Amino acid sequence: MRQIQFFMSADSNTSSTSARNGFGVTALVLAIVGVVFGLVPLTGFIALILGLLSVLFGLLGFGRVRKGLATNKIMTLAGTGLGVVAVALGIWGMTIFFGAVDELDQKLDNLGGSASTVTGEAPAPDAEAAPGSWENPLHPGQALTLPGWDITIHSTTQDATDAVLAENQFNDPPAAGRQFVMADVSATYTGADTGTPWIDLSFRILGSSNNVFGSASADSCGVIPNALSDTGELYPRGTSRGNICISVPAEQLTGANWIVEASFSGEDEVFVSLE
């Protein structure tokens, strides 16, 4: 009987003194994997997550070491330290990755602003050409007609920067060398169903060097006063009036024209001079 009690007591002592080193081991494994992922900027976010988990398990492991429940103090310390390194590498990698994405986006925007180009040289003004054509653009205040719409560009402010910046404190100023060009536009729906000006109509600017502006994100003005895009749906003979705005290089404004067309059609373009 005493022998049985002795063995039971020995088993109990062995169980109570067995080391619980799982947190420290987990911290070290996660940290090593995190450091490996952190060496590649594309996987920096994975390194960041693994590093944070490693630090968490390392702190839990230290708690067990302090209570005498674990014996792998050095391993836990190494895992926590490498976890911090993995976090740092993850942040570094994400910074490089998102910086590269922003740079690529900016290059694409610049490319979009210069790639939308009308081929050939600008035609000489021709009063005998069809009104509203590239050769004979309409003037501000003259009405134009597109399928389902009667449109008038009443006036154009070639440098509306102050008005745009005053409209919203979060608006950014135009990029260096650019100006915010804003026009006062009215649109009357003449179709049989309903129409929405800012959806059904497209407004762009053809610069003096034959570059088209208004499609790239770099051409945006931000929040503008009395925006045409704030108007709603129209029934037949309903009219909306508001402003449109495009960021355009100042050097391309001399002789520039508005291009007005039905959205997504690419047909029935009508040209209106800025002045």
Does one domain contain both 15 and 69? yes
Lowest mean pLDDT among 7-21, 70-84, 101-115: 7-21
Answer whether residue 117 shows pLDDT above 80: no
CB 50 within 8 Å of CB 34: yes
Domain shared by 92 and 169, yes or no: no
Residue 131 lies in a domain: no
pLDDT in tens, 197-244: 989 999 999 999 999 999 888 899 999 999 999 999 999 999 999 999
**87 shares its domain with 31:** yes
Which position has the higher pLDDT, 268 or 103? 268
Q: Which of 114, 132, 152 is the last residue in one of the domains?
A: 114
Residue 122 makes CB contacts below 8 A (sequence gap 6+) with 134, 208, 210, 255
Sheet with 143-146, strands from edge to edge, namely: 143-146, 149-157, 178-189, 239-249
**Residue 124 covered by a domain:** no
Please tell me the predicted confidence (pLDDT) of residue 105: 65
CA distance 40 to 126: 60
Q: Return the pLDDT at 109.
A: 55
Helices then strands, each counted (H, E), the chain: 6, 8
The tally of domains found in the chain comes to 2
Looking at the whole model, is its pTM more than 0.85?
no
Domain membership flag for residue 122: no
27: left (phi over 0), alpha (psi -120 to 50) or beta: alpha
Same domain, residue pair 58 and 150: no
- pLDDT grade for 94, boundaries at 50, 70 and 90: confident
Structural domain boundaries enclosing 242: 143-273
Q: Kindly state whether residues 156 and 269 are assigned to the same domain.
A: yes
Phi-psi region of 37 (alpha: psi -120 to 50; beta: other; left: phi over 0): alpha
Residue-level pLDDT at 106: 60
Q: What is the pLDDT of residue 79?
A: 84
Same domain, 235 and 185: yes
CA Rg value for the chain = 33
Q: What is the pLDDT of residue 267?
A: 65
Structure tokens at 267: 């047909």
User: Dmax of the chain from CA atoms?
Assistant: 122
The per-residue pLDDT for 7 is 35
Q: Does a structural domain hold residue 119?
A: no
Q: The domain that contains 212 carries what CATH number?
A: 2.60.40.1240
Q: Which two tokens stand for residue 83?
A: 């976890």
**Does 135 map to a domain?**
no
Per-range mean pLDDT, top range of 11-20, 80-89, 236-245: 236-245
116 or 102: which carries more pLDDT confidence? 102
In a domain, 59, yes or no: yes
Q: Do 74 and 156 lie in a common domain? A: no
Assigned domain for 18 exists: yes
Q: How many CB atoms lie within 10 A of CB 255?
A: 15
